[in-house]
């Protein structure tokens, strides 16, 4: 009898491990901070008798996995969608089912970007409960790819559904990471050095137990591409600031050489806040630092402060300054032009991303924008995820 019970417990544990892994992954995709400790505790819960009842399991998992109020608000919908198949149109989407009655979560929108023009965002891990090799679900893949492609081409100001907004934010951050991966790969391919530097190779191998994983070659050192972002957070940019902020967070999280500044009526250095790995905490910290967000904007004065106090420290010979702004300036256009000229002399390139370029009939007739344009190397749209992705080939040439 005891042996039979032990055998049943082992079978339940083995069967539930796969489902639990999928549930934990889904929680992470929806913003939950779930780690190895919580997963281990969840496995222990599944091995207990009372936790096999759905109501008890829901309460136990809620107490275990929810650490914030926002987690508690979302948890029931996620639990029902995954474990019971209910609430498919709620915060998480579920498509199809495995032969073992394990629901399959749709790939996160950022993973679906691999099938759109945005390009691959890295290798996509298999979700727990997905069909094994040779058991593909073409309908589910088409559905996810179509949704990602539509969102990638939609103007940010037209995205009103909270779920779509959250997906756009996540994809913008993943897009920045994908750009860094591809640009770094190109950088490595460009590096040349005919001779192996044994001393530096051995020194770097110490961290890998003496295995020379990275070979260092002698030759002229080439500076890495550095990106300095100046983000307009004035009221006229409200429809775009959320996605742009997540995109900038992704840049700082992925690029080793990156700095970020936010401006409206004044300039704020927000790199330290946005380098938080957790996006929610990063945005909270940035909000505390950047009081006055959503007001007017004085681009010329902000650039003057940047040129005087920060440019010498953050700009080198291979720096691309990226300005995300609609160009509406309440300050003096002549001052803006003069500060843009001074900035252009310091850096390699200035890229101005303006979301209004995507609007039909838009022309850069605003006085501030007209004063800045002669000093801009690339003036490009930034109203969709697709337009942000189009920036990568330009950066690859720097």
Same-domain check for residues 185 and 56: no
Last residue of a domain, one of 83, 105, 127: 105
pLDDT at residue 309 in the model: 95
- Specify burial of residue 153 (Cβ count, 10 A radius: 0-12, 13-18, 19+): middle
Question: Is pLDDT at 166 greater than 60 in this prediction?
Answer: yes
The CA distance from 114 to 229, in Å, is: 25
User: For residue 258, how far is the Cα from the chain centroid?
Assistant: 15
Check if the beta carbon of residue 324 is closer than 8 Å to that of residue 356: no
Residue 189, number of CB atoms within 10 A of its CB: 8
Residue 42, number of CB atoms within 10 A of its CB? 22
Summarize pLDDT for 144-165 with one digit per residue, the tens.
556 677 888 888 888 888 888 8
269 within some domain:
yes
Residue 229 β-bridge partners:
260, 322
Domain containing residue 283: 170-190+223-396
Last residue of a domain, one of 90, 105, 120: 105
What is the rounded distance in angstroms from the CA atom of residue 159 to the CA atom of residue 239? 9
For residue 243, what is the domain's CATH number? 3.40.50.410
Residue 204, SS3 per DSSP? helix
Residue range 65-99, pLDDT digits in tens:
888 877 888 888 888 888 776 544 333 333 333 33
Max avg pLDDT among 148-157, 165-174, 263-272, 389-398: 263-272
pLDDT bracket for residue 13 (50, 70, 90): low
Distance CA 112, CA 119 (A): 9
Confidence label for 173 from pLDDT (cuts 50, 70 and 90): confident
pLDDT above 90: residue 59: no
Whether 99 and 178 map to the same domain: the answer is no
Q: pLDDT tens for residues 314-344? A: 999 899 999 999 999 989 999 999 999 999 9
pLDDT at position 185, please?
A: 65
Report the percentage of the chain scoring pLDDT > 70. 73
């Amino acid at each position: 009898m005891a042996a039979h019970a032990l055998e049943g417990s082992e079978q339940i544990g083995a069967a539930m491990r796969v489902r639990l892994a999928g549930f934990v992954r889904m929680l992470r995709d929806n913003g939950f901070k779930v780690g190895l400790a919580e997963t281990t505790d969840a496995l222990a819960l599944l091995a207990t008798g009372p936790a096999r009842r759905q109501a008890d399991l829901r309460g136990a998992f809620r107490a275990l996995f929810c650490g914030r109020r926002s987690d508690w608000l979302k948890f029931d919908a996620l639990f029902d969608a995954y474990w019971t198949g209910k609430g498919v149109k709620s915060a998480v989407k579920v498509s199809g089912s495995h032969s073992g009655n394990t629901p399959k979560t749709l790939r996160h929108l950022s993973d679906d970007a691999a099938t759109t023009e945005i390009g691959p965002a890295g290798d996509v891990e298999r979700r727990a409960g997905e069909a094994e090799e040779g058991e593909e679900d073409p309908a589910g893949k088409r559905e996810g790819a179509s949704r990602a492609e539509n969102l990638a081409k939609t103007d940010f100001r037209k995205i009103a559904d909270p779920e779509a907004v959250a997906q756009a934010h996540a994809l913008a951050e993943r897009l920045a990471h994908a750009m860094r991966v591809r640009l770094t790969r190109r950088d490595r391919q460009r590096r040349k050095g005919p001779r192996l530097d044994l001393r530096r190779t051995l020194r770097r191998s110490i961290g890998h137990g003496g295995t020379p994983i990275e070979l260092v070659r002698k030759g002229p050192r080439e500076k890495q591409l550095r990106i300095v972002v100046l983000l307009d957070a004035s009221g006229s940019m409200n429809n775009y600031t959320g996605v742009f902020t997540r995109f900038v967070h992704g840049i700082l999280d992925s690029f080793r050489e990156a700095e970020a500044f936010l401006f409206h009526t004044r300039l704020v250095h927000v790199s330290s806040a946005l380098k938080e790995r957790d996006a929610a905490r990063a945005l909270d910290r940035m909000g505390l630092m950047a009081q006055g967000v959503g007001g007017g904007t004085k681009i010329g004065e902000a650039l003057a402060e940047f040129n005087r106090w920060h440019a010498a420290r953050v700009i080198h010979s291979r720096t691309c300054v990226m300005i995300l702004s609609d160009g509406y300036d309440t300050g003096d256009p002549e001052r803006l032009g003069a500060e843009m000229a001074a900035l252009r002399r310091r850096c390699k390139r200035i890229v101005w991303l303006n979301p209004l370029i995507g609007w039909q009939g838009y022309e850069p007739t605003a006085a501030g924008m007209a004063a800045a344009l002669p000093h801009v190397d690339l003036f490009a749209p930034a109203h969709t995820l697709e337009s942000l992705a189009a920036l990568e080939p330009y950066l690859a040439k720097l």
